[in-house]
Chain A
Amino acid sequence: MGHYVARRLLQMIPVFIGSTLLVFLMMYALPGDPVRALAGEKGADPTQVAKLKAELGLDQPILVQYWNYLTGLFQGDFGTQIASRRPVADVIAESWPVTAQLAIFALVFTAVVGIGMGVVAGLKPNSVQDRTLLFITLLLVSIPSFVLGRMTQTFFAFQLGWVDPNVSLEENWYELLMPAAVLAALSLAYVARLTRTSVVENLRSDYIRTAVAKGLPRRRVVGVHLVRNSMIPVVTYLGADLGALMAGAVVTEGIFNIHGIGLTVFEALGKREGSTVVGIVSLIVIVYLIASLLVDLLYAVLDPRIRYA
Chain B
Amino acid sequence: MPENTAVVNETTEPVKAEAAPAKDAGTGKPRSLWSDAWHDLRRSPLFITSAVLILVLLSMAVFPSLWTDGSPTEADLANKYLKKPEWGALFQPEWFGYDIQGRSVYNRVIYGARASITVGVMVTLIVTFLGTVIGMLAGYFGGILDTLLSRLTDIFFGIPFLLGALVILTAFEKRSVWVVILAISFLGWTSMARVARGAVIQVKQTDYILAAKALGASTFRILTRHVLPNALAPIIVVATTALGGYIATEATLSFLGVGLQEPLVSWGVDVAGAFRSIRNAPYVLIMPSVLVSITVLSFLMFGDAVRNALDPKLR
Q: Is B256 located at the chain interface by the 8 A CB criterion?
A: yes
Q: Render B138-166 as a binary contact track against A, CB cut-off 8 A, 1 for contact.
A: 00000000000001101110111111101
- A interface size (C-beta, 8 A): 48
**Interface membership of B72, Cβ < 8 A:** no
> B275 in the interface, Cβ–Cβ < 8 Å?
yes
Contact A138 B314, beta carbon cutoff 8 Å: no
Complex Cα gap A31–B173 (Å): 9
Distance in Å: Cβ of A156 to nearest Cβ of chain B: 14
**CA–CA, A281 to B167, complex, Å?**
10
Tell me the A119-140 residues at the B interface (CB within 8 Å): 138-139
Q: Which residues on the A side are within 8 Å of B278 (C-beta)?
A: 150, 154
Give the interface segment out of A12-20, A74-82, A91-99, A218-226. A12-20
- Tell me how far the C-beta of A198 lies from the nearest C-beta in chain B, rounded to whole angstroms: 11
User: CB distance A18 to B151 under 8 Å?
Assistant: yes
Say how far A100's CB is from chain B's closest CB, in angstroms: 14
Tell yes or no: B122 within 8 A of A by CB.
Answer: no
- CB-CB nearest in chain A for B155: A18
Question: Which residue of chain B has the shortest Cβ distance to A158 in the bound complex?
Answer: B279
Q: In the complex, A201 Cα to B313 Cα: how many Å?
A: 8
Chain A, interface SS category: helix
Chain B: interface size category: 35 or more
Q: Which of B21-29, B83-91, B219-227, B285-293 contacts A (4 or more CB under 8 A)?
A: B285-293
Measured in the bound complex, the distance between the Cα atoms of B170 and A23 in whole Å is 13
Contact A31 B159 (CB under 8 A): no
Q: Is A284 an interface residue (CB 8 A)?
A: yes
Q: Is B251 an interface residue (CB 8 A)?
A: yes
A212 in the interface (beta carbon within 8 A): no
The residues in A between 252 and 287 inclusive whose CB is less than 8 angstroms from any CB of B are 254, 265-266, 269-270, 272, 277, 280-281, 284-285
Contact between B255 and A138, CB atoms less than 8 A apart: no
In this complex, the member of B156, B251, B271, B293 whose beta carbon has the largest number of chain A beta carbons within 10 angstroms is B293
A251 and B256 contacting across the interface, CB-CB below 8 Å? yes
Given known pairs A143-B289, A269-B170, the reply for A284 and B256 (CB within 8 Å) is no
Residues of B within 8 A of A197 (CB): 314
Contact A284 B171 (CB under 8 A): no
Cβ–Cβ contact B170 & A281, under 8 A: no
Q: Which of A46-54, A56-64, A242-250, A300-308 interfaces with chain B? A: A242-250
B243-290 interface with A by 8 A CB criterion: 244, 248, 251-252, 255-256, 271, 275, 278-279, 282, 285, 289
Query: Which chain A residue has the least Cβ–Cβ distance from B271?
Result: A147
- Asked if B129 lies at the interface with its beta carbon under 8 angstroms from chain A, I say no
Contacts of A244 in B (CB 8 A): 160-162
Q: Chain A residues near B151 (CB, 8 Å)?
A: 14-15, 18
Task: Name which of B6-14, B198-206, B296-304 contacts chain A.
Answer: B296-304
Q: Is A145 an interface residue, CB under 8 A from the partner?
A: yes
Which A22-38 residues have a C-beta within 8 angstroms of B?
22-23, 26-27, 30-32
Question: Which residues of B are found within 8 Å of A30, using beta-carbon distances?
Answer: 168, 171-172
Quick check: B252 and A289 within 8 Å, CB to CB? no
Instruction: Decide if B313 touches A26 in the complex (CB within 8 Å).
Output: no
- Would B296 and A142 count as touching, CB distance under 8 A? yes
- Nearest to A147 among chain B residues (CB) is B289
Nearest-neighbour CB distance to chain A for B167, whole angstroms, equals 5
- Least Cβ–Cβ distance between A38 and chain B, in angstroms: 15
Given the known interface contacts A144-B251, A150-B278, A197-B314, the answer about A250 and B159 at a Cβ–Cβ threshold of 8 Å is no
Per the bound structure, the CA–CA distance linking A272 and B169 in Å amounts to 12
Q: How far is the CB of A94 from chain B (nearest CB, A)?
A: 19
Given known A-B contacts A15-B155, A26-B164, A289-B158, A251 and B171 have beta carbons under 8 A apart: no
Cβ B171 vs Cβ A31 within 8 A: yes
Q: Report which residue of A141, A145, A277, A288 has the largest number of chain B beta carbons within 10 angstroms of its beta carbon.
A: A141
Q: Which residues of the other chain, B, contact A15 by a CB distance below 8 angstroms? A: 151, 154-155, 158
Picked from A150, A158, A247, A284, the residue with its CB within 8 Å of the CB of B275 is A150
In chain A, what residue has the closest Cβ to B163?
A: A247
Considering only residues 205-233 of chain B, those with a C-beta below 8 Å from chain A are: none
A170 surroundings in chain B (CB, below 8 A): none
A residues neighboring B (CB under 8 Å): 14-16, 18-19, 22-23, 26-27, 30-32, 138-139, 141-147, 150, 154, 158, 197, 200-201, 206, 243-244, 246-248, 250-251, 254, 265-266, 269-270, 272, 277, 280-281, 284-285, 288-289
Jot down 5 A-B pairs with beta carbons below 8 A, ordered by A.
Answer: A18-B158, A30-B172, A31-B173, A251-B256, A272-B170
Q: A14-B155, A138-B301 are in contact. List 15 more A-B contacts (CB 8 A).
A: A26-B167, A30-B171, A31-B173, A138-B297, A139-B297, A141-B297, A142-B294, A142-B296, A144-B251, A147-B285, A147-B292, A247-B163, A248-B162, A251-B255, A281-B160
